[in-house]
Amino acid sequence: MLIDLYKFTLYEPTQVTYIELNLSNFVHEKSTGLSVPGITRFFEQSPSQHGAFDRGFLLQPRVLTFKFLVRATTPTEFYARRKTIIDVLRPAVNNLPGQLRVTLPDATIWKINVFTTSPPIFTPKDSLCEEVEFTLIAPDPVWTQVVAVTYLTFAQADIGTSKVATYTGGWITFPYPFSIKGSLTHPIINNLTSGKKIDLNYTVPDNTTVLIDLRYGYKTILQGSTNLLQYLSSDSDLEDFWFLPDPDAGSGNNTIQVTGGSTSGNTTVKLGWTPVKIGL
């Protein structure tokens, strides 16, 4: 059963206070919303058209529900554990999300940022035991593996060549961190597997770093505090320059090519990634 295979840990925003389910004091009973999140498809249909033309889809925020038992041996212990639940699930004043982590049977750990959308409901079972139910929402519905970032690095001698990034996740992910260190004139980073590119008509000064963040809610290209988005070509793929998983890219192999001129010994282009999954 799921409750025997998965280990759940729920952190409040500072990740100091947490609830670890499947222990004797917090016993996991039920959870929903771990697999594929809600999907909205977009259709186009003319007045005389039978059926419709599919224009694609978007993943919706993930809704997760949990039910577990809280057990204690003394009243002091009982109220301490009840306080822990409230501290973990209450909204953060600075609006930072909490974090849910799931450990799978293969020992991999996956995390997702969450907010509480309904207050915990406490139902007494006996004097020192109560059942707790609550609902969480994850605006970004994908699961990210808790693991060190993998990097694909292009040094001066690699500019003008291509390398393979083997992405082991189960869903698309943007390269992050993503940086260009000069000297490099007009850098173009192509994902030859997806046909997408980032084309920056700009000269990155020697020993100076440009940071590219393509994640939703960010979309920045910064050299220090200077935004370089104005130098991005109109046919660059700011919205969907990502690594493709298997089977969209065979075995998750994404061929990346970097071109540019006026290199130096400091020239380095780095694309990092962390595996993500659409569901557990």
Q: What are phi and psi of 98, to 5 degrees?
A: -85, -175
CB 260 within 8 A of CB 187: yes
pLDDT digits (tens, 9 = 90+) for 267-278: 999 999 999 999
pTM above 0.85, yes or no: yes
Tokens read off for 1: 């059963």
Q: Contact, 25 vs 72, CB < 8 A?
A: yes
Residues 176-210 have pLDDT tens digits of: 999 999 999 999 999 999 999 999 999 999 999 99
Decide: 108 and 64 in contact? Cβ < 8 Å. Answer: no
Angle at 115 between CA 111 and CA 119, to 5 degrees: 125
pLDDT tens series, the chain, 280 aa:
344 567 889 998 888 888 888 677 888 888 999 999 999 999 999 999 999 999 999 999 999 999 999 999 999 999 999 999 999 999 988 999 999 999 999 999 999 999 999 889 999 998 899 999 999 999 999 999 999 999 999 999 999 999 999 999 999 999 999 999 999 999 999 999 999 999 999 999 999 999 999 999 999 999 999 999 999 999 999 999 999 999 999 999 999 999 999 999 999 999 999 999 999 9
Q: Which amino acid is at 249?
A: A
Strands (E), 6-149: 7-11, 18-20, 26-32, 39-44, 53-59, 62-71, 98-103, 109-126, 129-138, 143-145
